[in-house]
């Protein structure tokens, strides 16, 4: 029996992650080496998905693997903290200037805990977030009416709409614990937030004693300390994930010591943070090594390559958005777009997302550009 037939019997729809499903079923990955993935049919593709932007160095980068193996040889997880979480926290603190950190196993958990910290710290209930932004699958960020969410505890606004933001803060600002924003939301089309809007958001949150929370789970790769640094803002809380785990499951929340004080086990009525595998030394060590290999020079170079690819595609008439190493192709039929690219040797996100890795060579980038342009000519991608 093929893997596809076996999968359909034991997994709803044949796989675990809705976010990577393409009908009739996605191919199954067998092997990843640098920028290349081989699937169960033996087809080889250049990986522009990079596990939804998390594999900043592509697959099986030797230094990252060695760090993970070395950690694993001394024990994969403990009922005690380890120095590896201290080292990763120090590294992200130095990159961001954000004082304190806590680790978990996914971006979903990071956002969930960030919102809990915001509510505990401010003693307020209301969370403001933006339409079309994806923040994982916690109830508060999926839809305001999800079970477990008290009606009226989440307000969803259109992003970049200043009058709507002003009105919401005027009417409810004093009840707002935090405003949660992704400065370049992938699901909403990878359009960077307007700097004037972000500046006013920053001012309004401060004016009303609400916290400014930035979800950097995807955008952390764009700048040494995350995309927010380009906007010149200092968020009270950030959620990160993906690249900081070196390819292993990860999430983290960062903030000032004061704002994260609800997580201190000695704080009365604090917020409990568990997670059997949170801050495990394999993830922490792989993450630290991956980040050390992705400093300002590597970030600038990867962003430059992304900008170059974007201009090249635009010049050929392709509708493409994004910034730096993250690109987004636009298409009416994203399934057709995905398969058209896949058949031409390019693995994209199911929504047309392309995320570059340091494992890509100029020849890979040429191949990606040719595949996208051929896809446009085939009628599967949009003209700009
Ligand atoms: N926030 C953002 C902005 C994301 O893009 C994602 C996942 N793509 C998440 C949170 C959730 O992260 P995870 O999939 O690791 O739970």
| List 47, 182, 242, 342, catalytic entry | 242
**Closest atom, ligand 1, to C-alpha of 53:** 8
Question: Residue 304's pLDDT is what?
Answer: 98
One domain, residues 53 and 82: no
Give residue 378 CA to ligand 1 midpoint distance, Å: 32
174 and 323 together in one domain: no
235 occurs within a structural domain: yes
**Domain assignment present for 254:** yes
Measured in Å, residue 55 CA sits from the centre of ligand 1 at 14
194 is catalytic: no
Centroid of ligand 1 to alpha carbon of 104 (angstroms): 13
Ligand 1, CB within 6 Å, residue ranges: 52, 106-108, 111, 134-136, 182, 186, 215, 217-218, 241, 251
Domain boundary among 272, 292, 312: 292
* Residue at 258 is within a domain: yes
Kindly give the pairing relationship between strand 36-39 and strand 44-47: antiparallel
Q: Are residues 134 and 271 in the same domain?
A: yes
Q: What is the ipTM of this complex?
A: 0.98
Helix (H) or strand (E) holding 328: strand 326-329
Q: Do 96 and 192 share a domain, yes or no?
A: yes
Confidence of residue 266 (pLDDT cuts 50, 70, 90): very high
For residue 367, the domain's CATH number is 3.90.1150.10
Report helix, strand or coil for 372.
Answer: helix
Identify which of 241, 242, 243, 246 to mutate to test ligand 1's pocket (most ligand atoms within 8 A of the CB).
241
Rounded Cα distance between 306 and 324, Å, is 5
Per-residue pLDDT tens for 157-203? 999 999 999 999 999 999 999 999 999 998 888 999 999 999 999 99
Tokens of 342: 């896949």
Atom of ligand 1 nearest to the CA of 186: 5
Same domain, yes or no: 143 and 212: yes
Q: Is residue 218 located within the same domain as residue 347?
A: no
Going by CA atoms, what residue is nearest to atom 7 of ligand 1?
136
So what's the pLDDT on residue 151?
67
Across 372-377, average pLDDT:
95
Considering the domain architecture, whether residues 126 and 262 belong to the same structural domain is answered as yes
Residue nearest atom 2 of ligand 1, based on CA coordinates: 135
- State how far the Cα of 212 lies from the Cα of 240, in Å rounded to an integer: 15
Residue 202's alpha-carbon distances to 14, 133, 215, 230, 235, in angstroms, are: 44, 18, 14, 14, 8
For residues 90 and 166, membership in a common domain is answered with yes
**Looking at residue 46, what DSSP letter applies?**
E
The parent domain of residue 286 ranges over 62-292
Spacing, Cα 110 to ligand 1 middle (Å):
9
Residue 150 has pLDDT above 70, yes or no: no
Q: Is 134 a catalytic residue?
A: yes
Instruction: State in Å: Cα 237 to ligand 1 middle.
Output: 16
- Specify if 383 maps to a domain: no
- What the block records as the tokens of 124 is 């307020």
Residues 201 and 134 in one domain: yes
Q: What is the DSSP string of 67-123?
A: HHHHHHHT-S--SS--HHHHHHHHHHHHHH---EEEEES-HHHHHHHHHHHHHHHH-
Q: Which of 215, 231, 236, 342 is catalytic?
A: 215
- The answer to whether residue 213 sits within a structural domain is yes
pTM of the model: 0.96
User: To the nearest whole number, what is the mean pLDDT of the chain?
Assistant: 96
Each residue's pLDDT tens digit, 107-139: 999 999 999 999 999 999 999 999 989 999 888
On the question of pLDDT at 140 being above 90, the answer is no
Q: Which of 269, 292, 315 is the last residue of a domain?
A: 292
Please give the pLDDT value at position 148.
Answer: 61
Q: How far is the CA of 218 from the centre of ligand 1 (A)?
A: 7
Domain boundary among 242, 257, 292: 292
100 and 208 share one domain = yes
Query: Domain tally for the chain?
Result: 2
What CATH number has the domain bearing residue 274?
Answer: 3.40.640.10
Looking at the domain assignment, is residue 316 inside a domain? yes
Residue 362 lies in a domain: yes
- pLDDT surpassing 90 at residue 384: no
The preferred substitution site among 135, 137, 159, 185 for testing ligand 1, maximizing ligand atoms within 8 Å of CB, is 135
Looking at the fold, whether 287 and 300 belong to one and the same domain comes out as: no
Count CB atoms within 10 A of the CB of residue 217.
30
> From the CB of residue 64, how many other CB atoms can be counted at a distance below 10 Å?
26
User: For residue 384, is it within any domain?
Assistant: no
In terms of DSSP H, where are the helices of the chain? Answer: 3-10, 50-53, 62-73, 83-96, 107-122, 139-142, 162-172, 195-207, 257-260, 281-292, 296-315, 334-343, 362-377
Active-site hit among 134, 182, 202, 342: 134
Sign, Cα dihedral of 236, 242, 247, 250: positive
pLDDT at 267 over 80: yes
* Same domain (yes/no): 139, 110: yes
Q: Which atom of ligand 1 is the closest one to the Cα of 108? A: 16
């Amino acid at each position: 029996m093929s893997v596809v037939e076996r999968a359909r019997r034991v997994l709803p729809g044949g796989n675990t992650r809705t976010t990577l499903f393409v009908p009739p079923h996605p191919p199954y990955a067998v092997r990843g080496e640098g920028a290349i993935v081989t699937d169960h049919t033996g087809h080889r593709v250049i990986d522009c998905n990079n596990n939804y932007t998390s594999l900043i160095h592509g697959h099986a980068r030797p230094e990252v693997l060695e760090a993970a193996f070395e950690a694993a040889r001394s024990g994969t997880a403990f009922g005690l903290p380890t120095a590896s979480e201290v080292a990763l926290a120090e590294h992200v603190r130095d990159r961001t200037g954000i004082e304190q950190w806590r680790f978990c196993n996914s971006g979903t958990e990071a956002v969930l805990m960030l919102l809990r910290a915001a509510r505990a710290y401010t003693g307020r209930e209301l969370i403001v977030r933006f339409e079309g932004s994806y923040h994982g699958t916690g109830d508060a960020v999926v839809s305001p009416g999800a079970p477990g969410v008290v009606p009226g505890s989440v307000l969803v606004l259109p992003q970049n709409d200043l009058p709507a933001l002003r009105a919401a803060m005027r009417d409810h600002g004093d009840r707002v614990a935090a405003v949660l924003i992704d400065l370049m939301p992938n699901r909403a089309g990878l359009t960077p937030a307007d700097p004037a809007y972000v500046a006013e958001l920053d001012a309004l949150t401060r004016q009303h004693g609400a916290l400014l929370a930035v979800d950097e789970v995807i955008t952390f790769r764009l700048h040494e300390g995350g995309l927010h640094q380009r906007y010149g803002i200092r968020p009270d809380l950030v959620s990160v994930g993906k690249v900081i785990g070196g390819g292993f499951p990860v999430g983290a929340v960062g903030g000032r010591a004061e704002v994260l004080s609800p997580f201190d086990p000695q704080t009365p009525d604090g917020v409990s943070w568990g997670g059997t595998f949170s801050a495990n030394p394999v993830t922490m060590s792989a993450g630290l090594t991956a980040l050390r290999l992705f400093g300002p020079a590597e970030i600038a170079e990867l962003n430059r390559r992304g900008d170059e690819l974007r201009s090249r595609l635009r010049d050929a008439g392709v509708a493409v958005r994004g910034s730096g190493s993250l690109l987004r192709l636009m298409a009416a039929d994203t399934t057709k777009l995905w398969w058209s690219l896949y058949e031409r040797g390019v693995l994209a996100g199911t929504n047309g997302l392309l995320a570059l890795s340091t494992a890509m060579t100029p020849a890979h980038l040429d191949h990606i550009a040719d595949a996208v342009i051929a896809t446009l000519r085939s009628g599967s991608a949009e003209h700009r």
